[in-house]
Amino acid sequence: MVKRKLTRDTFHVFQVTAQNALKQTQQAISVLICAGTGCIAGGSMKIYENIKAECESRGLPVYVGLKHDSQEEKSLHVKMSGCHGFCEMGPLVHIEPMGIMYIHVKPEDCHEIIEKTILGGEIIDRLVYHLDGVAYPHQDDMPFYKKQHRLVLENCGRSDAEDLEEYVAKGGYAAFEKALFEMTDEDICRTIMDSGLRGRGGGGFPAGRKWDGARLQQAERKYVVCNGDEGDPGAFMDRSIMEGNPHSVIEGMMIAGLAVGSSEGYIYVRAEYPLAVDRLRIAIQKAEDLGLLGDNIMGTNFSFHLHINRGAGAFVCGEGSALTASIEGKRGMPRVKPPRTIEHGLWAMPTVLNNVETYANVPLIISKGAEWYRTIGTPNSPGTKAFALTGNVVNTGLIEVPMGTTLREIVFDIGGGIKNGKKFKAVQIGGPSGGCLTEEHLDLPLDFDSLKKLGAMIGSGGLVVMDEDTCMVEVARFFMHFTQNESCGKCTPCREGTKRMLEILDRVIANKGTVEDLDLLEELSDTITNTALCGLGQSACKPVQSTLKYFRDEYLRHVVDHHCPICNKEKPHPVIDPEKCKGCGKCRKTCPMEAIDGTVKKPHTINPEKCVNCGACVSSCPFGAITASKEG
CB of 532 within 8 A of CB of 538? yes
Per-residue confidence (pLDDT) for residue 632, from 0 to 100: 37
Distances, alpha carbon 428 to alpha carbons 198, 441, 476, in Å:
21, 12, 10
Residues ≥6 apart with Cβ < 8 Å to 554: 471, 472, 473, 547, 564, 566
Cα–Cα distance between 196 and 236 in angstroms, integer?
24
Give the per-residue pLDDT at 631: 42
Domains, the chain, in order of start with CATH, read 9-139 (3.40.30.10), 164-374 (3.40.50.11540), 384-470 (3.10.20.600), 473-565 (1.20.1440.230), 572-628 (3.30.70.20)
- Rounded to an integer, what distance in angstroms lies between the CA atom of residue 318 and that of residue 229? 6
Pseudo-torsion of CA 435, 437, 438, 441, nearest 10°? 150
Taking each helix axis from N to C terminus, what angle separates 472-486 and 542-550, rounded to the nearest 10 degrees?
170
The full 3-state SS of 212-260, as one line of letters, equals HHHHCCCCCCCEEEEEECCCCCCCCHHHHHHHHCHHHHHHHHHHHHHHH
Q: How far apart are CA 192 and CA 200, in angstroms?
A: 14
pLDDT one-digit tens code per residue, 63-90: 777 767 655 556 788 889 999 999 989 9
Beta bridge partners of 311: 270
How far is the C-alpha of 118 from the C-alpha of 108, rounded, in Å?
16
Quote the Cα angle for 489-490-492, to 5°: 80
Find the helix packing angle between 515-531 and 498-509, rounded to 10°. 160
Dihedral pair phi/psi, residue 178, rounded to 5°? -60, -45
How many Å apart are CA 254 and CA 203, to the nearest integer? 24
Q: Decide: residue 621, CB within 10 A, 0-12 exposed, 13-18 middle, 19+ buried.
A: buried
- Cα 588 to Cα 158: distance, rounded to the nearest angstrom: 65
CA dist 476 and 499 (Å) reads 13
Is residue 554 within a helix (H) or strand (E), and if so which, with residue range? Answer: helix 552-556
Burial (CB < 10 A; 0-12, 13-18, 19+), residue 49, is middle
Phi and psi angles of residue 261, each rounded to the nearest 5 degrees, phi first: 85, 40
Which secondary structure element, helix H or strand E, spans residue 39, and what is its range?
helix 37-41
pTM of the model: 0.90
Query: What is the per-residue pLDDT for 610?
Result: 79
CB atoms within 10 A of CB 3: 11
Backbone angles phi, psi at 568, to 5 degrees: -65, -30
Q: How far is CA 273 from CA 227, 230, 356, in A?
A: 13, 10, 13
Q: What is the pLDDT of residue 616?
A: 80
Low-confidence ranges of the chain (pLDDT < 50): 1-2, 630-632
